[in-house]
Structure 1
Amino acid sequence: MTQITLNIPDDELSFFMQLIEKFNYETVINEFSVTEEMKSLLDDRRATSKSEDFLPWNEAKKQLRFKSEK
């Protein structure tokens, strides 16, 4: 199976959906909202962070540990 992700402007969405009605498709809606409190916390963290404390993603992901399911 091939999966394709498209970014469609809001004003073109209706047209696009009509166009693909005849195909087998799955609509996925990612709704993620950030509160003002979360934004403030992130802004504070960015303001007080030091670049020497950063880890490259390749190194950071090696340190992740997941709880095993029982």
Structure 2
Amino acid sequence: MTQITLNIPDEELTFFMKLIEKFNYETVINDFSVSEEMKNLLDHRRVTSKSEDFIPWTEAKKQLIFKSKK
């Protein structure tokens, strides 16, 4: 089976849905929830973060340590 992911502009969605009604398709919604506690923590981190504390991704990924599976 081949799986295809499409990004459909909102204004074209109705047309597209009518078109694919003729085919067998499955709608997948990537849905996740974030608790109020998590939202508050992220908001706090955004407000209190300082740009001088940021580490460029090229440097940050050097600091990652991966454990090998045995």
> TM-score, normalised to structure 2's length?
0.59
Q: In structure 1, what is the Cα distance between the partners aligned to 2:27 and 2:62?
A: 33
Structure 1 gaps, min length 5: none
Identical aligned residues as a percent: 70
State how far apart, in whole Å, the 1-side matches of 2:56 and 2:27 are. Answer: 34
Give the C-alpha shift of residue 39 in structure 1: 0.8
Structure 2 unaligned segments of length 5 or more: list them. none
Alignment of 1:1-70 (within 5 A): 4-9=5-10, 12=13, 15-20=15-20, 27-70=27-70
Instruction: State the Cα RMSD in Å.
Output: 3.3
Q: Cα 1:65–1:21, aligned 2, differ >3 Å: closer, same or farther?
A: farther
Structure with the greater alpha carbon radius of gyration: 2
Read off the aligned partner of 2:6 and give its amino acid letter: T
Q: Report the TM-score, using the length of structure 1 for normalisation.
A: 0.59
What number of residue pairs does the alignment pair up? 68
